[in-house]
Amino acid sequence: MIINPLKIGGVTVKNNVFFAPLAGFSDASMRKICLKAGAGLAFTEMVSGKGLKYTPSASSELLFSYDDETVKAVQIFGSDVSVMKWVASSEHLKNFDIIDINMGCPVPKIYNNGEGSALLNDLDLASKIIKAVKSSGKAVTVKFRTGVTENKLVTRDFAVMCEQSGADLITVHGRTRNAYYQGEVNYTEIESAKNAVSIPVIANGGIFSKRDADVLMDRTGADGVMVARGALENPMIFSDILGIKPNFTIVDLIKEQTSLIKERYGNSRGAVIFRKQASYYLKGVKGSKRLKELIFASTSIDEVCSILTSALSKSSF
Ligand SMILES: Cc1cc2nc3c(=O)[nH]c(=O)nc-3n(C[C@H](O)[C@H](O)[C@H](O)COP(=O)(O)O)c2cc1C
């Protein structure tokens, strides 16, 4: 794929290969190593607008970022226009340059509340939310799916609505709400969004290798790609896609990540926080079942790091 810097409203990011928002995973440490591996931009996980307004202490940890994250992007979700407007201009988001609005989350708790992918059913409300967030004066992006069900795809209309409401970039996850995270990515739908708007369009879904990124770009004509689970399995995917050969390995990145988590949360709590991510790193590694058992039994992130790095040093990964 062609690697370019990308302009998002008044913000320029160094390249068009993004790390996705991932609840429970895209914390400051994970974003830091993905950016180091080459990602052009990384988003926080989805943060509730209502949560930030009414119980900010519960959500504030999700907003933590390191100073060297030079362009900071937060993702928020919600369906209450006045709350979203308030949050976007609030002190809570003052450090962020870009606000992404989640209009794709499929989980019942969110959908049944009229948030996330439920907004695919209500373009008027979605438009009001985008305008409300845009009134903050920050760059605003929207991440959405192709529709709720296969027989009612809304990608093109939704993309046009986003642009007309003031969005500076859209990310299209080429699956419906009903498909969750499985199945084919609908290239044609992403392409229809790209052809309908003049703001940048980022294609998302199913990138687990450089080749997947090349195919997604080629088939959709998108301006860039967003990698989610592929980066959880191996953050070095960003270097691969960019075609750069860094002077560090995944083992170095894991050492850096675990030391950041330890510094912030301590050895014991850090072990618990890092477990799920550690399992992703072990995907495809020989003996991973036993290694995961050891990791889940461990109460020290130092130990988890050493189990993981020794396994990955031995594997051909
Ligand atoms: C565990 C998990 C958590 C996710 N959390 C978020 C989230 O907070 N916000 C969001 O917009 N998408 C979220 N997603 C969706 C991803 O950002 C992405 O759109 C999806 O996984 C498709 O990309 P992939 O096929 O490269 O994984 C999540 C996905 C997974 C698997």
Q: Kindly report the CATH number assigned to the domain that includes residue 301.
A: 1.10.1200
Q: Kindly report the CATH number assigned to the domain that includes residue 180.
A: 3.20.20.70
pLDDT digits (tens, 9 = 90+) for 19-37: 999 999 999 999 999 999 9
Half-sphere exposure (Cβ direction) of 279: Cα atoms closer than 13 Å: 11
Whether 195 is covered by a domain: the verdict is yes
Residue 315: the pLDDT is 66
Q: Whose CA is nearest to atom 31 of ligand 1?
A: 229
Under a CB-based contact definition with an 8 Å cutoff, are residues 25 and 186 in contact?
A: no
In the structure, which protein residues have their CB atom closer than 6 angstroms to any atom of ligand 1?
20-24, 45-46, 75, 102, 104-105, 143, 173, 181, 204-207, 227-230
Q: At what angle do helices 301-314 and 250-265 cross, to 10 degrees?
A: 180
Q: Quote the percentage of the chain above a pLDDT of 90.
A: 96
Under a CB-based contact definition with an 8 Å cutoff, are residues 196 and 161 in contact?
A: no
Confidence check: pLDDT of 3 > 90: yes
Name the average pLDDT for the chain: 96
CA–centroid distance, 171 to ligand 1, in Å, is: 12
Q: Whose CA is nearest to atom 16 of ligand 1?
A: 228
Q: In this structure, are 231 and 262 located in the same domain?
A: no
Confidence check: pLDDT of 316 > 70: no
Q: How confident is the model at residue 140 (pLDDT cuts 50, 70, 90)?
A: very high
Q: What is the mean pLDDT of residues 90-95?
A: 96
Would you tell me how many other CB atoms lie within 10 Å of the CB of residue 210? 16
Residue 302: what residue type? D
The tally of domains found in the chain comes to 2
Q: How confident is the model at residue 57 (pLDDT cuts 50, 70, 90)?
A: confident
Confidence check: pLDDT of 105 > 80: yes
Q: What is the CA radius of gyration of the chain?
A: 19
- Using alpha carbons only, what angle is made at residue 310 by residues 314 and 257, rounded to the nearest 5 degrees? 125
pLDDT digits (tens, 9 = 90+) for 194-237: 999 999 999 999 999 999 999 999 999 999 999 999 999 999 99
Whether 82 is covered by a domain: the verdict is yes
Under a CB-based contact definition with an 8 Å cutoff, are residues 251 and 313 in contact?
A: yes
Phi and psi at residue 48, to the nearest 5°: -70, 130
Task: Give one DSSP letter per residue of 209-249, joined into a string.
Answer: SHHHHHHHHHHH--SEEEESHHHHH-TTHHHHHHT---S--
Calpha distance 31→58 (Å, rounded) = 20
Calpha distance 175→184 (Å, rounded) = 7
Confidence check: pLDDT of 278 > 70: yes
Q: In this structure, are 144 and 282 located in the same domain?
A: no
Least confident range from 59-68, 70-79, 186-195, 196-205: namely: 59-68
Q: How confident is the model at residue 304 (pLDDT cuts 50, 70, 90)?
A: very high
Residue 123: what residue type? L
Q: Whose CA is nearest to atom 21 of ligand 1?
A: 228
Which tokens in the block code for residue 196? 């309908």
Q: Quote the percentage of the chain above a pLDDT of 70.
A: 99
Name the residue with tokens 């900010």: 56
Q: Which residue, of 185, 220, 242, is where some domain finishes?
A: 242
Name the residue with tokens 């199913």: 206
Q: What is the pTM of this model?
A: 0.97
Counts of helices then strands in the chain (DSSP H, E)? 15, 10
Calpha distance 193→199 (Å, rounded) = 10
Phi and psi at residue 224, to the nearest 5°: 180, 180
Confidence check: pLDDT of 317 > 70: no
State yes or no: is 105 an active-site residue.
yes
Whether 1 is covered by a domain: the verdict is no
Q: In this structure, are 154 and 58 located in the same domain?
A: yes
Q: In this structure, are 68 and 95 located in the same domain?
A: yes
Q: Is 245 left (phi over 0), alpha (psi -120 to 50) or beta?
A: beta
- List the catalytic residue out of 34, 105, 162, 305: 105
Whether 104 is covered by a domain: the verdict is yes
Q: What is the mean pLDDT of residues 40-61?
A: 94
Whether 309 is covered by a domain: the verdict is yes
Relative to beta strand 11-13, strand 6-8 is antiparallel
Q: Which residue, of 225, 242, 259, is where some domain finishes?
A: 242
Atom of ligand 1 nearest to the CA of 229: 27
Residue 169: the pLDDT is 98
Residue 60: the pLDDT is 87
Calpha distance 29→259 (Å, rounded) = 9
Domain ranges, residue 289: 250-314
Calpha distance 202→208 (Å, rounded) = 16
Q: What is the mean pLDDT of residues 166-182?
A: 97
Phi and psi at residue 179, to the nearest 5°: -80, -10
